Amino acid sequence: MTSVRLVLADSRFPGGGHAHSGGVEEAAARGLITDETSLKSFLYGRLRTNGLVSAAFAAAAVGGDWFTLDVELDARTPSPAQRAASRAQGRSTLRAGRVAWPSPRLDALSQPHHAIAIGALVDVAGGTPEEAAECAAYLSVSGPASAAVRLLGLDPFRVNAIVAQLDIAAVTEEALSGLPMLGAPALDLFADSHARIHQQEVRLFVS
C-alpha cells in the first residue's frame, strides 16, 4: 500500500483546500448552520451527495478515461460556481501532486475537477480505486468541517468527533459500484449565491 491517500487527505497537503468551505459559509450566513448539531446534519447531507459523487469519480479516474469522466462530471454539476470551485481545487491539487508523484500521464490534465485530480494522482502513485474514493469522500467533509470551526468558533474537538463518526466507509463502498447522479439542490443554490455575494462583500472563503 502506498501513502498517497494519506498525503492527499492531510490538511497540510498544499492543494488549496483551505480556501473552500463547501457551502458552509453561505449556509452559516443564512443561519442554517449555527452549532455542532446543525453542522452534523449539513455534513451528513454533503457526504451522501457531493461526497458520494466525488468518491465515485475519483475511483473511476484510477485506470479510467479522464476526458470522458470530465464530461460526465460536468453533466452532474449544474452549478457554474460548483464547477469553478471543483476545477480550482483540482488545479491546485494537481500542481502539488505533479511534484510529489511526477508522471508524463498527468500532462493530459490541465484544470481537472477535484475528484478526477485525486483519482489521477492516486493512479500514478500506484494506489487503488478504493483509496481514491475514500480520500475524496473524506475531503468532501473534512475541509467544510474545519471551515465551520473557523467561521463559527465551534468546539474543534466536537467538530472533529462529528467527522470521525461520519460513515466514510459506506460511501466509499457505494462509490465503487458505478457513477451516481445524486444532486444536492441546496449546495448548488448556496454555491451560486456565494459567488454572487462574494463579488459584493468580503467573504472568508472562495466557495
Partner 1 sequence: MRARSRLVVELRDGRSVLTELRSAAPWTLLPQRGRVRSVTGTAVVHLVSSATAPLGGDDLGLEVCVGAGARLRLSGIAATLALPGHRGERSRASIRFDIDVNGTVEFLPEPTVVTSRASHSSVFSAQLADTARLRYREVLVLGRVGEPPGSLDSTVEVLRGDVPLLRQRVDIGDPALTASAAYLAGHRVLASELLVWGTDPAAAHSGDWWSLAPLARGGSLATALARDAVAAQRRLAEAIAGHPGFSTVDAASELITVSIPNRSVANSRS
**CB count in 10 Å sphere of residue 84:** 16
Judged by CB under 8 A, does residue 83 bind partner 1?
A: yes
Q: Are 137 and 172 in contact (CB under 8 A)?
A: yes
Judged by CB under 8 A, does residue 33 bind partner 1?
A: yes
Minimum distance from CB of 196 to partner 1 (Å)?
6
Return the residues of window 127-166 that contact partner 1 according to CB under 8 A. Answer: none
DSSP at 19: G
Q: Give Cβ neighbours of residue 80 (< 8 Å, ≥ 6 apart).
A: 192, 195
Judged by CB under 8 A, does residue 81 bind partner 1?
A: yes
Q: Which residue, 79 or 89, is less far from partner 1 as judged by CB?
A: 79
CA angle 115, 105, 100 (to 5 degrees): 70
Q: Segment near partner 1 (CB under 8 A), from 101-109, 116-124, 125-133, 188-196?
A: 188-196
Q: Which residue, 3 or 34, is less far from partner 1 as judged by CB?
A: 34
Q: Give Cβ neighbours of residue 200 (< 8 Å, ≥ 6 apart).
A: none
User: In the complex, which residues of this chain contact partner 1 (CB under 8 A)?
Assistant: 23, 27, 30, 32-33, 38, 41-46, 48-50, 71-72, 74-81, 83, 180-189, 192-193, 195-196
